[in-house]
Structure 1
Amino acid sequence: MKRNLFTILLILAVLTSSGQHLVKGKVIDENSRPVVSASIVLQQKSDKSIMQTTITDSTGLFLINAKQALQRELIISAIGFESTSIDLPDALNQDTALLIRLTNEGKQLKQVSIYSKAPLIERKTDRILFNVENSLSAIGGDGVDALNKAPGVRVNDDGINIVGKNSVKIMVNDRLVQLSGIDLINYVKSIPSTNIKRIEIITNPSARYEADGNSGLINIVLKKNLTQGFNGLINTGAVISSRYLLGLTGVFNYNLDKLHISSNLTGVYSESLSNATAEFSTPKSLWERQSTSLMKWKGMRGDVRVDYDLSEKTTVGVKYVQGVRNYKVDLDENGRFYTQPGRRLDSTLLNIGNDKLEYTLRNVEIYLDHKIDTSGKKIEFASNYFRYGTEDDNRFQSSSYNDKHELLNSYKPVGLSENEHIDIFTNKLDLKLPYKFADLELGAKLSNIKSKNSLMYEKTANVSVLNNNVFDYSENTQSLYASADKEIGKWNVKLGLRIETTQTIGNSSVQTESAKNNYFQLFPTFYLQHILNENNNLSFTYGRRINRPDYSLLNPARLYSAVNVYEEGNPYLKPSFSNNFELNYNYKDWLSTSVYSNFVSNGFSLLDFFDAQNNIQSQVIRNYANTVTVGLSETITFNKVSWWENNNQFNIYLNRSKSNGAIAEGTLKQLSGYVSTNNTFTLNTKKTLMANATFWYQFPEVYNRLISEAYYAADLSFRAMVMDRKLTLAVNISDVFKTSQQKYKGTVNGVNQFSTRYNDNRKARITILYRFGNSKGNKAVRNTDESETNRVKQGI
């Protein structure tokens, strides 16, 4: 590995010594005096996409790399001057010098207020951008609320998915977060939507990104603060449903010359109610279950980040995160077991339980960003340590009765503790090297993961559920990647390759042999874009990806929620692999068409099984199928009316899942679709009063080996900004008609299944947000992304 890193650094040294053609310039005013801190932007004229930015120094000089591209232009702007633009030749064969004279606007500006905004939804070559800061319905909520509004993203208790596709992974500021299921939901909930700038839906990530996630990545980009002095915001509010939620968030920033400090503290108290039903039937038996769960939880999460500019080119920083959440879940469940035919009641089951959980995390990250030169060459290094733990105290009591309600069996209260501790170390190096012949990206990453999961039942528990186990798991991954981006006339080509080698080993106290899995994999990526003209462009993308199982899914112990209901992990679970293809067509800024396909091999999931002979229900994780998904997606944006912004999405897709023998059923096919419309209305000329109406409809689709019935929801929101926009009041109503209940049906191993679930989705949110502190911007503040590394399955 050291030899590989040395090779990368050697390549860097060779490349940085190469010559390239630059645009040198000086910006002066009408009196020939230098203009300091003028903004220089190199962009493509066709789509206004920014290629590079810089600012002038104390003498008015700037230097920028004139990378090959058609229809380029320089935009030069400065406070107090009229902006200007300069068209650049399509080919530069030598360094070019420019003298740019800006015209004074004729009056001194005391303050500049800019209220322009990007479109709510933007389509790029490899991703869809959802600008959360412009979404009314996401204001005052959390990260899950924001994700639910992103086009084509669906959130439920099992995780976060893209409509028509398989599993995705979550990133925060380009840093992968390794989590799943309810832990994923809990983590995203800890991020206030106020802190989110945009959500990027990347269906075919480049080689620079992690290869994990069959259908790509969702990148949550947090806001960064470029304002000198002290400023921040206080965000508080309440959510009312059948229960309630109270929350308070404080964000504080301090920037002084080379020192940049930011912090975030969030506290939440919540109660929520959920209802679920399940039905399992065979020709000889029928089992019905109904359950109600009341969840009460409270938590706090804080972080602090300190950056220091060692020079204009080099910044070092450290970030620390600490969080804790406590849950208490009360479960009330009853079941009825019938014999068929005749539907005669055989027995009933009553199950009462309570669960106390505590999640804790601690994260420390140190990083260094260094700009090699003014042409855009850059090196980034980050080292991260993450410590995560769960303490779970679960108790339940079950009783069964015959058809005359006479006691058959009564089980004493069963107590079990499930504790998990994960330590993750990562080191990551990224190089950005723009050259005339191509833009290069190189990088390497090392990760070391250790997980310990223990499941212990009390000695007084019934012998049938004794299943004590300690499971130790380690995973080491070494990664290298390289990509090259080249513009040739109206064509843009990008090739990438990521190499990953992984070693895993799992040891269980109930098994004599270790579960080992070592594999070496290549993950190529390819992008091809053709600009037909100023209004039309085509692009094609391809990427191969991997989906690794979460650590807790590998523990072979049985986790009981009732005497005859349990979940079981699989230490021999293998990762699944996917090949993703996508063809896109974009017309201006309002129409985007995408044809895509997704091929997944060795897919795994948690499947429901029912043993009618012994009346036992189990959920077992297995590699069970290969799937193919083919779809068509349309995105239409209408913004020709000043007071109305309208975004619509239509998606139709066919899913085909073929069993590999792990279950009895063969091939399952389902044609499905999804439609949505998001409408924002400006109610006054100052744009301080706004309203939003959103509607989405999900047609029946495949969920594991089951098919969901159609479900839909309508949301309404209103926002008012007062006190020179420092105070924002917002009201949001989600799932107005209570129609987002999910229902599933299907057949697994000859057992017909039907289930429903509703998690209190209809709710009203009232939010108050107040911004305070200095509002005077400073262009000299560094403009690097704020990054956070959270490579762990977590519940904070």
Structure 2
Amino acid sequence: MIIRKYLGGLLVLSAITTANAQSSIQGNVALEAATTPAGHCMVALMRMQDSLEMQKEETSENGNFHFDAIADGNYFLQINYPSFYNYTSAIITLKDSTKIALPDIVLHLKTTSLNEVSINALKSGLSFKDGKIILSTANNPLASGSTVIELLKTLPGVILDADNNITVNAKAGVRFMINGVLQQIPEAQMMLLLSNMSTESVASLELIKNPPAKYDAAGTAGLINIVTKQSKIKGYNGSIMTSLGMGKRFGGGANASLNFRSDKLSLFSNISYLRRNPLTDFSMNRTIGTANDLQSIRTTGSDNTQLHSININAELEYELSPKTMMSLNFRTSPGKSSDHFLAETNLHNAPLPYNQTDFTTENVDKYNSPSITLYARHLFDTSGTQVSFTADYTNFRYNESRANENVFYDSNHSESLPDKAYNNLMDLNFQVFTQKLDFTKTLFNTWVLESGLKSSFVQNNSDNNLLRSYPGTDQFYNDPAFSSIYRYKEQIFAGYVNAMKSFGNISLQGGLRAEQTLVNAVNKTNEEKLHRNYFNLFPSMSLAYKQSEKNSFQFTYSYRIDRPAYDQLNPIRLFFSELNYGTGNSNLLPQYSHNLTLDYNYNNLLISSIGLTKYSNSIYRYTYSDEAAGVQIDTIDNLASRTILSYSLTFQKQWGNAFNLQLSGMTAFCNSKGVINQTSIDQHSLMGYLSANSDLLLLQKMRLQLNARYSTPYIDGIQHYSQRGSVDLALQRRFMADKLNVVLGIYDLLYTDYGSIKSNLPNQTYYEYAKNDSRRVRLNITYRFGNMRINRQFNNKQEEENTRIKKVE
């Protein structure tokens, strides 16, 4: 196959070798007063250009270290030793086989632990770097005891509606990664997992607006990378946490972690349990027809849900040599959701033999998503030549049983039809196997070349059965018209080349990614088949200009895709009630987008961004009514085009060590064109988003955090979304030398985190309102044990790189 030969050649093109260098560095490390050698101390040789670790060596018993075969260039040393302050050297320039013997390096004893410092000097959990927005959970009171879905809402520009559909700066089509591995399970199931994933196992969320070519091209609104916690502390340590929450219903959770880290071996484990019992009140109102012949169908009811989930994350990392490391990660998240719907539907002038129906639905979802990831990295030389390999296998299992019973009444509230019941049974087995090989090479000490290959194999077996009752009995039969055995296979082969170059204050990056997609699907019930085979090139580039120490600009561009998921392509009907079902669209096409962003950063105080996104074949979900049957249908189609122009501004400021503030705002202009349910639309809309987060150190060990957010009403195609917002408050207090951490939080204090959706089509309207149990009080108690002093070698990489560069300059 031509494309496979093309992709296989990408790594060969990048494997350019350089001549061997003979420079060396040697030195000695001693502890305070230079009287005690720092034996078994880790010394890292860092490249000045990008703070990349080139070599790492453990000192001898006498504190000696020695680096050999170093390429010409500028370097610095980074030394970390438990209970002593970090050491960063001045610039070391190597040229023409330089041999350098450094003066003795003396490390100084710390007087306080990092934990004591961090609670007495607040730091923003939000940071901006290289087109990324990074939200850290470290020392973030509101994140304690929360779920990833709740944490997502605090990312600037991220909006989730009542059905957990997510947009970023008004753009749909965001995709998720976990530790850099793209999650390819369907969107609805992914959001279900995130709704039950505890933040206690998460270190940070990274929003990548315009990913470069080394990332998957999926995600027309960008990527959100969920970074799980790693062991940062030498020796052993751990924590236990309990969370108790109360709204309309009780809920809670627990978490335990146990970690060990030595110079070569790292073990990390985390297990969490979540229990949620939300109560949602909802209403839906539909009108069909004209004023002279108007049908009205109104449903009101409640949904009482019980959620139970367990999340397990374990990782083993081993350093085979100073240049080679391997890690093995295992994750699983078994869960169960039980919903009890109780609703009443009243009909006026509808062409149905009843005026009212009362229905109850018992819905039970069981799911699990075990995955295992193998990662290996080898550093070839001191110029930065390295290769990494990642293999990931995920098996998502999902089982749903939806039992619905209906009672029908006439205008006199007498039963007009025999009772009806049906069971919707779904069994989903989704398997994903990916392999990725990445290669990095530095050329001529100024160019960085990246290349890689990736293959992804997806197989989904989906069995759906609709069991209907014989009228007036409790006997069921299978309805073949609404049952299916669906088999879906998808293969993606990809390769990329990405180059980076710095010219003084200007940094340039450009890349090209090639992806070939093969889809084969068949509905074995009716033998309907789907075959697709298409090839795409996805260019990306960025240009960064640092005008001064305080002013920097960055322009980025990327071309991206969203492929329809199996459930979006499967046309089988899934009934939610007697008068409502959802269905896919086998003719749905991939969605593409051109994305341009211009960012300006003033001293990390003001960060502004202008974005322009142009979609083609925009994937669009909507609701309409079948006028003859009075049935509401949820489906999906392609819009011809969509254009979104957005502007965002963030202000963040730290006042001393006791107060910091972040204010974010976004406004977007949207234009959608296409045909929805045989109706042409050319719709323009304007929307906005505001958020504020503040931290105040009240006493030495007490912290107050406030987060508020608001999104304006907006129009998306034929659908109108109402405003919504939230105010969250948390009080944190530490005890027992910072080992005991207590957080009292109040979420959605004003009870405004809910909204409504209204759809308008000729001669029909649809209105949906849902108010969930979002106002809650939550108490979280965490106890940490073991070694509490953090070796900064394993601290936040972004913070380290900034610190290193400042010290060296």
In the superposition, the TM-score normalised over structure 1's length comes to 0.89
Confirm or deny that 1:310 pairs with 2:325. no
* Counterpart residue number, 2:806: none
* Counterpart residue number, 1:701: 714
* Counterpart residue number, 2:65: 60
* Counterpart residue number, 1:775: 788
Cα distance in 2 between the residues matched to 1:238 and 1:81: 38
Cα distance in 1 between the residues matched to 2:259 and 2:506: 42
After superposition, the C-alpha distances for 1:157-216 in whole angstroms (9 at most, x for unaligned) are 333321322220111111111245442233223432233222111110111111111110
Residue 42 of structure 1 deviates from its aligned partner by 5.2
Cα distance in 1 between the residues matched to 2:690 and 2:637: 32
Confirm or deny that 1:136 pairs with 2:136. no
Q: Which letter does structure 1 place at the counterpart of 2:757?
A: Y
Within a 5 Å distance, the mapping from 1:665-680 to structure 2 comes to 665-680=680-695
Q: Which letter does structure 2 place at the counterpart of 1:695?
A: A
Residue 780 of structure 1 deviates from its aligned partner by 8.2
Within a 5 Å distance, the mapping from 1:279-428 to structure 2 comes to 279-282=285-288, 283=290, 284-339=294-349, 347-428=355-436
Residue 676 of structure 1 deviates from its aligned partner by 0.9
* Counterpart residue number, 1:751: 764
**Paired residue for 1:86, among 86, 90, 108?**
90
- Range moving further from structure 2, 501-510 or 155-164: 155-164
Confirm or deny that 1:269 pairs with 2:275. yes
**Paired residue for 1:199, among 196, 201, 205?**
205
CA contact (8 A) 2:7 2:514 kept: no
After superposition, the C-alpha distances for 1:585-642 in whole angstroms (9 at most, x for unaligned) are 1100111110101111111233211123321111112223421100110010011333
**Paired residue for 2:157, among 152, 158, 164?**
152
* Counterpart residue number, 1:453: 462
**Paired residue for 2:656, among 625, 635, 641?**
641
Confirm or deny that 1:434 pairs with 2:438. no
Cα distance change of structure 1 residues 782 and 631 upon mapping to structure 2, 3 Å threshold: closer
SS at match of 2:144: coil
Cα distance in 1 between the residues matched to 2:92 and 2:333: 51
* Counterpart residue number, 1:794: none
RMSD: 3.2
In the superposition, the TM-score normalised over structure 2's length comes to 0.88
Cα distance in 1 between the residues matched to 2:760 and 2:159: 24
* Counterpart residue number, 1:659: 674
CA contact (8 A) 2:486 2:522 kept: yes
Within a 5 Å distance, the mapping from 1:459-608 to structure 2 comes to 460=469, 466-608=481-623
CA contact (8 A) 1:591 1:637 kept: yes
CA contact (8 A) 1:401 1:407 kept: yes
Cα distance in 1 between the residues matched to 2:375 and 2:306: 37
Cα distance in 2 between the residues matched to 1:102 and 1:670: 66
Cα distance in 1 between the residues matched to 2:449 and 2:751: 50
Q: Which letter does structure 2 place at the counterpart of 1:701?
A: Y
Residue 419 of structure 1 deviates from its aligned partner by 0.8
Identity within the alignment, %:
23
Q: Which letter does structure 2 place at the counterpart of 1:224?
A: Q
- Range moving further from structure 2, 2-11 or 173-182: 2-11
Residue 132 of structure 1 deviates from its aligned partner by 2.1
Residue 532 of structure 1 deviates from its aligned partner by 0.7
Confirm or deny that 1:175 pairs with 2:181. yes
CA contact (8 A) 1:390 1:420 kept: yes
* Counterpart residue number, 1:243: 249
Cα distance in 1 between the residues matched to 2:337 and 2:151: 23
CA contact (8 A) 2:200 2:272 kept: no
CA contact (8 A) 1:168 1:214 kept: yes
Cα distance in 1 between the residues matched to 2:528 and 2:599: 49
Cα distance change of structure 1 residues 355 and 661 upon mapping to structure 2, 3 Å threshold: closer
* Counterpart residue number, 1:761: 774
Cα distance change of structure 1 residues 643 and 455 upon mapping to structure 2, 3 Å threshold: same
After superposition, the C-alpha distances for 1:28-87 in whole angstroms (9 at most, x for unaligned) are 56979986424555567xxxx855575554233347988999xx9777776757846525
Residue 466 of structure 1 deviates from its aligned partner by 4.7
CA contact (8 A) 1:465 1:560 kept: no
Q: Which letter does structure 2 place at the counterpart of 1:720?
A: R
CA contact (8 A) 2:623 2:632 kept: yes
SS at match of 2:773: coil
Cα distance change of structure 1 residues 303 and 678 upon mapping to structure 2, 3 Å threshold: closer
Cα distance in 2 between the residues matched to 1:74 and 1:778: 16
Cα distance in 1 between the residues matched to 2:608 and 2:24: 37
Q: Which letter does structure 2 place at the counterpart of 1:569?
A: G
Cα distance change of structure 1 residues 211 and 82 upon mapping to structure 2, 3 Å threshold: closer
Residue 94 of structure 1 deviates from its aligned partner by 5.2
CA contact (8 A) 1:582 1:594 kept: yes
Structure 2: gaps (5+ residues)? 472-476, 799-809
Cα distance in 2 between the residues matched to 1:228 and 1:456: 54
Cα distance change of structure 1 residues 67 and 257 upon mapping to structure 2, 3 Å threshold: closer
Q: Which letter does structure 2 place at the counterpart of 1:86?
A: A
Cα distance in 2 between the residues matched to 1:82 and 1:402: 79
SS at match of 2:9: helix
Cα distance change of structure 1 residues 214 and 268 upon mapping to structure 2, 3 Å threshold: same
After superposition, the C-alpha distances for 1:355-385 in whole angstroms (9 at most, x for unaligned) are 1221123223323222222333221112222
Within a 5 Å distance, the mapping from 1:51-130 to structure 2 comes to 52=53, 55=56, 57-58=58-59, 59-62=64-67, 80=84, 83=87, 85-87=89-91, 99-101=101-103, 104=106, 112-113=113-114, 115-116=117-118, 119-130=124-135
Residue 432 of structure 1 deviates from its aligned partner by 2.1
Residue 674 of structure 1 deviates from its aligned partner by 0.7
Cα distance change of structure 1 residues 779 and 707 upon mapping to structure 2, 3 Å threshold: closer
SS at match of 1:205: coil
Q: Which letter does structure 2 place at the counterpart of 1:113?
A: L
- Range moving further from structure 2, 703-712 or 443-452: 703-712
